[in-house]
Amino acid sequence: DTEVTQTPKHLVMGMTNKKSLKCEQHMGHRAMYWYKQKAKKPPELMFVYSYEKLSINESVPSRFSPECPNSSLLNLHLHALQPEDSALYLCASSQERGQLAGVNEQFFGPGTRLTVL
């Protein structure tokens, strides 16, 4: 299995709602990422998990809360979002230090299109 999957594909939520985005991979990758992407802009890194531990938080507001329950799953919990948070949220995974050396490719999931009303 060489695919990263994400659910849901689309999500519409109000500013007072709580929702979660889910990401799954079964490639044995030990690094997983959340990105936010606006139209025709590059993906912006939000969080990085390395061996199920949060290793990078790019100063993301606390209304976004990541969670890595195990090596295959990555969640992003959303609460009290703002309309400007509307974007495509991409999950990605890759090999990590200690895994197969020299392999850097990052695999992206299809994304969740989030609209905040």
Partner 1 sequence: GENVEQHPSTLSVQEGDSAVIKCTYSDSASNYFPWYKQELGKRPQLIIDIRSNVGEKKDQRIAVTLNKTAKHFSLHITETQPEDSAVYFCAASKGGSYIPTFGRGTSLIVHP
Facing residues of 78 across strands? 19, 64
Choose between 18 and 26: whose C-beta lies nearer to partner 1. 26
Cα separation, 35 vs 59, whole angstroms:
13
Q: Confirm or reject binding of residue 83 to partner 1 (CB under 8 A).
A: no
Q: Which of 17, 20, 50, 86 binds partner 1 (CB under 8 A)?
A: 50
Q: Confirm or reject binding of residue 66 to partner 1 (CB under 8 A).
A: no
Minimal distance, residue 51 CB to partner 1, in Å: 11
Cα separation, 113 vs 48, whole angstroms:
20
CA 24, 55, 50, 95 dihedral sign is positive
Choose between 80 and 108: whose C-beta lies nearer to partner 1. 108
Q: Confirm or reject binding of residue 96 to partner 1 (CB under 8 A).
A: yes
Q: Confirm or reject binding of residue 1 to partner 1 (CB under 8 A).
A: no
- 81 and 93 Cβ atoms separated by less than 8 Å: no
17 phi, psi to nearest 5 deg? -75, 160
Instruction: List residues binding partner 1 (CB under 8 A).
Output: 31, 33, 40-43, 45, 48, 50, 56, 90, 94-97, 101-102, 104-106, 108-111, 113
